[in-house]
Structure 1
């Protein structure tokens, strides 16, 4: 794979804005050559982004970039579009040998651009409800941007250390860059989203394989509930992991309340029942980036007591804090 230079403009220290950069630095650190961010130039990635092993430099320009590399837009501006200055930055980087990976809603017409959201939009598969034999785990959320991709990657890494037949399916832009394959589901016309999900599941279906599917949005979100519903219905997961942010009361950027973890668990269990899916929550993954150790530990213990489930922030503690012996016992045994 080609080395990656990640463009974050000036937003690297903003975990919400630069979540694509954070995901790549956390789960593909060996591929990161540098991060292009004029505000934080002179630092290393691991000095700014928490819980990463990536020591790549943060640079103010591309003077030391490789001859050939992929330039990833590593931030997500509100509305999904670039400013004129940001567009000019990318235009100045376009040259032979540079491939610009764009996951924004805004389609870019620049040399070497790969618009990730448009890779599969011309395909029109219709889901058939075909039976699946794999053991499927879906990550779901109380809201959007609460760590579903992070939990997916952490769970995959944790399970892959224990067994061979584990796969994870990327369903968004950041996951697609990390995994090198997948679908950006929220760019696909809604009638064909289940067909794309079914296609991906059938490609890895096997009775001895555990498939972890990256969730999107939340059934509670006023804008992003439809994709979550399609995922739950089509994946028909035997198990789900609920992702939540400690202390969050409203959806980011919306004056709309976020449910409590117990409320969300009940709702997702009812959703599964409505679809005829025998699904259970096996763990609660917390995003605790906005609170200190004491508040995190208190909330972790409170939720574990209420739910009776493993509860942890896998970035702080690693995936093993969620993959308890009780959880692992649920997975299919290899013959």
Structure 2
């Protein structure tokens, strides 16, 4: 069920298609690629910000240019085009479809994390055959599936799962920041990518939200065991949210499939309700307790820390918020992007050490 690209991604000049959405939350794939693969991000397509640079609009990304058309983007010699948006439902609109066809005609390989598979489009297939370009439909999964055994990772590695108070709060970002900090410390760690953006960065993984529901736990279990070979810790990228009316199912499948040894809660401090739903987000201590109650019949799973997105706050307000959350939850907290992942990695190490006694 593991999905890998048919071509190399890292080290190739990349065009990020984010028309009309950059740099909003819907362009999270483009934003995360710029954050973690900045050297490969050659150009962004977004007509609303054309003429500006990524740094002008996002505050990161050097002077990566933003252009209005594929024709303008070609001047920067991109070899790959990534559909850099993640719209609700993962559908492809006519504007993006036309841009993708132009990219194929220019000889670029294409990466798409949409639920609509580009290779199933007859016109796109014909364009591919003419240009020699290739497509990676990141969310495509094989029809093979297994039921979870309930054993989680059996390689000897410990697993750590990120869970959130909502979708799009930064679970992938937090997972990757934790991974980078753990590597910096010399820890023997890997990470399991379960969504389109993480899979593009990892260049492998399983798009859990495309797996048949009966097999989500089994797919997660298989992925954690694959990434756990020869490792001490596997960080598992979370999806959805347990209190989300639309996407709770995938969260529960990840929890029961990974059988984590500890979890990290991810929260955007600007949100008091689940986005696009009239569902209030409970106090973080209650969200933590809810996850533990769900896991309790199968496993006692402590939380190692809380990762916050404080981008809506000034620096002092953000630090005050972090202290407030630490006091409320009794756990180390931090904003990984602004202030580093050190405190939460400390929490993970302490948590896993206690469980190993």
1:320 aligns with 2:312: no
The within-5 A match list for 1:254-333 is 254-274=277-297, 276-324=298-346, 326-331=347-352
Following superposition, the deviation at residue 328 of structure 1 comes to 2.8
- Contact 1:26–1:53 (Cα < 8 Å) also in 2: yes
Question: What is the Cα deviation at residue 92 of structure 1?
Answer: 1.8
Structure 1 residue 146 corresponds to structure 2 residue 155: no
TM-score, normalised relative to structure 1: 0.91
Residue pair 2:192, 2:205 contacting (<8 A) in 1 also: yes
**Residue aligned with 1:146, SS:** coil
- The residue aligned with 1:129 is 150
Q: Structure 1's 135 and 85: CA in aligned 2 closer, same or farther, altered over 3 A?
A: same
How do residues 229-268 of structure 1 correspond to structure 2 at under 5 angstroms?
229-268=252-291
Paired position in structure 2 for 1:219: 242
How many residue pairs align between the two structures? 327
Distance in 1 of aligned mates of 2:324 and 2:255: 27
SS in 1 for 2:263: strand
Deviation at 1:95, TM superposition (A): 2.4
Q: Distance in 1 between matches of 2:168 and 2:98?
A: 28
SS of equivalent residue, structure 2 residue 161:
strand
User: Which residue, out of 26, 30, 46, partners 1:37?
Assistant: 46
Task: State the alpha-carbon separation in 1 of the partners of residues 159 and 218 from structure 2.
Answer: 17
- Tell which deviates more after alignment, 57-66 or 196-205: 57-66
| Greater percentage in helix | 2
Q: Report if the CA contact (8 A) 2:302-2:351 is conserved.
A: no
Measured at CA, do residues 84 and 53 of structure 1 come closer, stay the same or move farther in structure 2, by a change above 3 Å?
A: closer
Distance 1:78 1:230, change over 3 A: closer
Alignment partners' CA distance in 2, 1:117 and 1:64? 30
Partner of 1:27: 36
1:170-228 Cα offsets, whole Å, 9 max, x none, are 00000010110101110111112222112112223357511000000011000111111
Superposed structure 1 runs of 4+ greater than 4 Å apart:
none
**2:245 & 2:46 partners in 1: Cα distance?**
33
Structure 1 residues 301, 175: closer, same or farther in 2, change over 3 A?
same
- My pick for the range that moved more, 165-174 or 311-320, is 311-320
1:125 touches 1:195 (CA, 8 Å); kept in 2?
yes
Q: Deviations over 1:102-128 (max 9, x none)?
A: 11122222234322111x232223333
The CA RMSD measured in Å over matched residues stands at 2.1
Instruction: Determine if the alignment matches structure 1 residue 63 to structure 2 residue 74.
Output: yes
Counterpart pick for 1:4 among 1, 6, 14: 14
User: Residues 165 and 287 of structure 2 are in contact (CA less than 8 Å); yes or no, is this contact kept in structure 1?
Assistant: yes
Q: In 2, Cα distance between the equivalents of 1:145 and 1:313?
A: 15
Residue of 74, 79, 89 corresponding to 2:89: 79
3-state SS of 2:172 partner: helix
Q: Tell me: CA distance 1:278–1:76, structure 2 relative to 1, closer, same or farther (3 Å).
A: same
Could you tell which deviates more after superposition, 158-167 or 174-183? 158-167
